[in-house]
Structure formats: C-alpha cells, structure tokens
C-alpha cells in the first residue's frame, strides 16, 4: 500500500466535472480531501491524500496529469518540538486545516494527518520550534 499527499490544480474546464469520482472507481484508490479551494466557473486547488496499491496510486496520478490537472507531491512534513512548547496557541490561529488545535486543557494538539504543509505555523510560533523536514 502507498499513501501520498498531493496538491491538485484544476483548470476551469474540470471544475464542474466528476473527475475524482472517475479516478476513484477506475483505480480503486481512497481519496481523502484535506483542503479545497474551488468555486464554480473558476480554477481551483485541492489538497488530498491518495491511498491505494502502489501501482494504482501511480497510475491514478498519471491519469490525472494526462487530462490536464497538474499535481504536486508533498515531500516535506512538519516537525514540532513538543517538549519546548509553551501552549500559547499562536500557531492554531493560522492553521487552515485544524491540524493544530488546543485541547480542553489548553494544551496544543498536533494531528499530522490533517497537516497541509502550508508552513504558516512556522512563522507564527514565537519560539521557532516548528520546522519542516524532507
Ligand atoms: S503546516 Fe502548520 S499551519 Fe499549515 S496545515 Fe500544517 S500544522 Fe497547520
Ligand atoms: S506557537 Fe509555538 S509555542 Fe505556541 S502553541 Fe504553537 S508550537 Fe507551541
């Protein structure tokens, strides 16, 4: 099995068409949308996790590219030095996907699965304890 995080750029002509439904049924992949910025009659972007057999994931991306939807694979991830965190919450204010949230005890909680690697939290942290790794 393979899991990749990917950013898809949909040109206007694909916005109103069920491309991802077709890809899911054709290749048997699981397509988990993490963030979407798409409006009717305009271009759009989608950040998603694609999970499936190695060949199915590769073939689905090849197909997506072949129809004109460009994609970029995320090869970085966010590293948080949690032992140094003072739970100020500044990073949660800028996180667009709720990967960073405060729990009921006002402690920072980081859900890596939800992270879009947008890197907004890196600049927001006053202690500079958030970074990226390849
Ligand atoms: S990079 Fe930081 S701000 Fe962006 S989604 Fe991930 S945790 Fe949230
Ligand atoms: S901004 Fe930095 S110190 Fe504040 S909660 Fe986030 S990681 Fe912790």
Which protein residue has the closest C-alpha to ligand 1 atom 8? 95
Parent domain of 129: 77-133
Report the atom number in ligand 2 closest to the C-alpha of 88. 4
Q: Considering its fold, how many domains does the chain have in total?
A: 2
Q: Is the pTM of this model over 0.85?
A: no
**pLDDT tens profile 27-73:** 999 999 888 887 777 888 988 999 999 999 999 999 999 999 999 89
Nearest ligand atom owner, CA of 106: 2
CATH number at residue 114: 3.30.70.20
In this structure, are 15 and 66 located in the same domain?
Answer: yes
Based on the fold, state whether residues 84 and 129 are members of the same structural domain: yes
CA 112 vs CA 58, 79, 101: distances in Å: 23, 9, 11
Looking at the fold, whether 56 and 109 belong to one and the same domain comes out as no
């Amino acid at each position: 099995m393979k899991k990749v995080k990917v950013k898809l750029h949909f040109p206007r002509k694909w916005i109103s068409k069920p491309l991802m439904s077709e890809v899911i049924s054709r290749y048997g992949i699981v397509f988990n949308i993490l963030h979407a910025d798409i409006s009717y009659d305009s271009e759009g972007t989608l950040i998603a996790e694609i999970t499936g057999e190695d060949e199915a994931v590769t073939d689905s991306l090849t197909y997506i590219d072949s129809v004109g939807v460009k994609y970029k694979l995320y090869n970085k991830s966010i590293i948080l030095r949690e032992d140094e965190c003072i739970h100020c919450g500044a990073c949660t204010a800028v996180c667009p996907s709720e990967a960073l949230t405060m729990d009921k005890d006002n402690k920072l909680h980081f859900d890596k699965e939800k992270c879009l690697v947008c890197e907004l939290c890196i600049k927001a942290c006053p202690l500079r304890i958030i970074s990226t790794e390849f």
